[in-house]
């Protein structure tokens, strides 16, 4: 017993080091699992609050552009009311409080939370196109995982031939994302429009995603590597809209029934 | 040892980190993590376990601001483990040191070596864990070089101004 205690005392520094590192790596792996704590993220009220202050200062410098964007957004909203009459979705505008575009795992903090009806898995778009999916919900703020996050996957459709594919991001350029699973017999060419497929409960059909920039085919490949220029300009993101799917409870019930 | 000074500096540096350095978007490769200045300059009189716990707490707070739960914590704990050994190698008589680690305490050359090792280890750990993908390793290395350079310059610059 005494020798054991001696050994423990001798290596206590290293033991504490191991324990702390194990905790850190547990947190990292927790962070990649779906539901996560809103305490230690920018969904936390205190953390988001200081980002909002920076943003307020920036707002005065960007008023002109924001005004123009808002006017454009109003127009889009009006048309949306009519177009989406069949899809029971409700849009709510939210302000971007904090965002990154230059990391492999980018996140966007918005100033809407649980009390505004935001839920995990909710789709988020702006007037240009898709933005991402709500990942963490705090009471007044939430964190959105945008398309430009290497962990994101978005079900898309090539508008002209209805081919369904998955959009991913390689972590490099915030303006471009990639389609990897389009078979070579599918006709795709630069300029084709990519829209949401409507297969996920987060997004209704036909929200613009991007335009095909180029299609590459390596030797012996049976799938194209397609570079898609994203419609949404993430670097300039100021306002977004959350998409509340009013049918989601029913959809969940149906899916649960299948299991 | 003056704790209020250390804490006051931490608050100022952390505010600068969040309000200024986290907002930098220079070609996507420059993310200086200047907040570790406070960890580097802590007085060497603390027990190693306390240093690692302080590192873990500082890293965790940084993670909250970066949505990167655990990554900064792991990197900070790592450099805090190295810290006593590095300081021991930089000065002959470690017990003589009671003031905070600085250019004044170590001399320019030793402080430079100490800062470079600590900053590069921390930044490399953060960027490798953040990319978490072997195909991005080249990019993570570029990020480490560029960001470390800026962090090292800022930490040494602060030292030179404070102890000129």
CA neighbor of A142 nearest in space, from A172, A117, A112, A122 = A112
Question: What pLDDT, on the 0 to 100 scale, is given for residue A80?
Answer: 67
pLDDT of res. B8: 92
Least confident segment among A135-144, A170-179, A211-220, B148-157: A211-220
Please give, rounded to a whole number of angstroms, the shortest distance from the CA of B28 to a CA of chain A: 5
CB distance A247 to A234 below 8 Å: no
Q: Which residues of A touch B132 (CB under 8 A)?
A: 104
Q: Cβ(A199)–Cβ(A218) under 8 Å? A: no
- Average pLDDT (A213-241) is 87
- Under an 8 A CB cutoff, do A30 and B136 touch? no
From B7's Cα to the closest Cα of chain A, the distance in A is 19
Provide the pLDDT for residue A204. 85
Q: In angstroms, what separates the C-alpha of B56 from chain A's closest C-alpha?
A: 7
Residues of chain A with CATH 2.40.10.340: 45-149+235-246
Residue A231 to residue A100: CA distance in whole angstroms: 17
Tell me what the mean pLDDT of segment A74-81 comes to.
65
Average pLDDT of the segment spanning B106-130: 92
What's the confidence (pLDDT) of residue B116? Answer: 96
Q: What is the pLDDT of residue B50?
A: 92
Q: By the 8 A CB rule, do B87 and B94 touch?
A: yes
Q: Is B37 in contact with B155 (CB distance < 8 Å)?
A: yes
Residues from chain B that touch A13, judged by Cβ atoms under 8 A, are 48-49, 52, 81
CATH number of A154-230: 2.40.10.350
Mean local confidence (pLDDT), A88-111: 85
In chain A, which segments carry CATH 2.40.10.350? Answer: 154-230
Query: What's chain A's average pLDDT?
Result: 83
Indicate which of A10, A18, A21 best probes the interface with B, i.e. most B CBs within 10 Å of its own CB. A21
pLDDT confidence tier of residue B27, bands split at 50, 70 and 90 = low
Q: Residue A259: its pLDDT value, please?
A: 65
| Residue that wins the pLDDT comparison between A54 and B22 | B22
Which pTM value belongs to this model? 0.72
CATH number assigned to the domain with residue range B3-162, chosen from the 4 options 1.10.10, 3.30.1490, 1.10.1760, 2.30.30? 1.10.1760
First to last CA, chain A: 53
Q: What residue spans define the domains of chain B?
A: 3-162
The pLDDT value recorded for residue B36 is 95
Q: How far is CA B57 from the centre of its chain?
A: 13
Q: How far is A48 from chain B (nearest CA, A)?
A: 8
Own/partner pairs, B135-143, CB within 8 angstroms, 24+ separation: B136/A104, B136/A171, B139/A171, B139/A172, B139/B29, B142/B29, B143/B29, B143/B30, B143/B31
Pick from B85, B86, B57, B53: nearest CA to B72: B57
Q: Enumerate the residues of chain B whose CB falls inside 8 A of the CB of residue A101.
A: 25, 28
**Which conformational region is residue A198 in: left (phi greater than 0), alpha (psi within -120 to 50 degrees), or beta?**
left
Helices (H), B20-91: 36-40, 48-66, 71-90
pLDDT at A34 over 80: no
pLDDT 10s digits, B126-157: 999 887 666 678 888 988 999 999 999 999 99
* pLDDT at position A105: 87
Pairing of strands A193-196, A223-230: unpaired
Chain A residues touching B17 at Cβ < 8 A: none
pLDDT over 70 percentage in chain A:
85
Contact indicator for B94, B45 with CB cutoff of 8 Å: no
Residues of A with CB under 8 A from a CB of B: 12-14, 16-17, 20-21, 23-31, 36-37, 39-42, 44, 47, 50, 54, 100-105, 107, 143, 150, 171-172, 174, 235
Helical (H) or strand (E) element with A226: strand A223-230
Query: What is the mean pLDDT of the segment spanning B26-31?
Result: 74
In angstroms, the CA A212 to CA A234 distance is 18
State the average pLDDT over residues B64-92.
89
Strands (DSSP E) contained in A100-137 are 108-110, 123-125, 130-137
Q: Tell me which chain A residues have a C-beta less than 8 angstroms from the C-beta of B12.
A: none
| Predicted-assembly ipTM surpassing the 0.90 threshold | no
Residue (of B64, B65, B42, B62) closest to B52 by Cα position:
B42
Distance (Å, rounded) from C-alpha A233 to C-alpha B135? 26
Half-sphere exposure of B60 (CA within 13 A, CB side): 15
What mean pLDDT comes out for the span B25-38? 83
Which of the residue ranges A138-142, A151-155, A198-202, B76-80 has the most confident prediction, judged by mean pLDDT?
A: B76-80
Instruction: Decide if pLDDT at A151 tops 70.
Output: yes
Look at B70 and A172 and tell me if their CB atoms are within 8 Å: no
* pLDDT confidence bin for A33, thresholds 50/70/90: low
Class for the domain spanning A45-149+235-246: mainly beta
For B77, which of A21, A26, A37 is closest by C-beta distance? Answer: A21
């Amino acid at each position: 017993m005494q020798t054991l205690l001696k050994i423990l005392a001798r290596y206590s520094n290293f033991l504490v080091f191991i324990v702390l590192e194990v905790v850190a790596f547990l947190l990292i792996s927790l962070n990649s699992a779906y539901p996560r704590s809103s305490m230690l993220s920018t969904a936390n009220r205190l953390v988001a609050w200081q980002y909002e202050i920076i943003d307020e200062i920036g707002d005065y410098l960007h008023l002109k552009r924001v005004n123009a964007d808002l006017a454009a957004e109003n127009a889009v909203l009006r048309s949306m009311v009519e177009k989406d009459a069949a899809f029971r979705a409700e849009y709510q505008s939210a302000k971007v409080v904090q965002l990154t575009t230059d990391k492999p795992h980018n996140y966007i903090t918005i100033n809407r939370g649980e009390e505004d009806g935001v839920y995990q898995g909710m789709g988020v778009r702006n007037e240009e196109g898709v933005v991402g999916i709500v990942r963490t919900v705090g009471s007044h703020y939430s964190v959105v995982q945008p398309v430009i996050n290497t962990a994101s996957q978005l079900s898309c459709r090539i508008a002209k031939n209805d081919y369904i594919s998955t959009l991913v991001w390689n972590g490099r350029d915030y303006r471009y994302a990639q389609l990897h699973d389009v078979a070579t017999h599918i006709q795709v060419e630069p300029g084709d429009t990519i829209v949401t497929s409507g297969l996920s409960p987060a997004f209704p059909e036909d929200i613009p995603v991007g335009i095909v920039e180029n299609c590459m085919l390596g030797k012996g490949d049976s799938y194209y590597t397609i570079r898609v220029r994203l419609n949404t300009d993430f670097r300039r993101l100021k306002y977004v809209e959350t998409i509340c799917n009013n049918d989601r409870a029913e959809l969940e019930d149906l899916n649960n029934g299948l299991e | 040892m003056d704790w209020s000074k250390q804490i006051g500096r931490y608050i100022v540096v952390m505010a600068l980190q969040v309000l200024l350095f986290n907002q930098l978007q220079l070609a996507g490769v420059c993310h200086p993590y200047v907040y570790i200045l406070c960890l580097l300059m802590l007085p060497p009189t603390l027990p190693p376990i306390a240093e690692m716990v302080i590192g873990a707490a500082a890293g965790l707070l940084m993670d909250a601001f970066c949505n990167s739960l655990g990554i900064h914590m792991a990197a900070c704990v790592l450099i805090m483990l190295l810290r006593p050994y590095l300081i021991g190698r930089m000065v002959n008589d470690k017990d003589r040191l009671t003031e905070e680690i600085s250019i004044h305490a170590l001399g320019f050359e030793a402080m430079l070596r100490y800062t470079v090792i600590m900053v590069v280890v921390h930044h490399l750990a953060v960027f490798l864990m953040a990319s978490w993908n072997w195909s991005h390793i080249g990019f993570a290395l570029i990020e480490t070089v560029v960001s470390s350079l800026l962090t090292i310059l800022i930490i040494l610059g602060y030292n030179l101004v404070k102890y000129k």
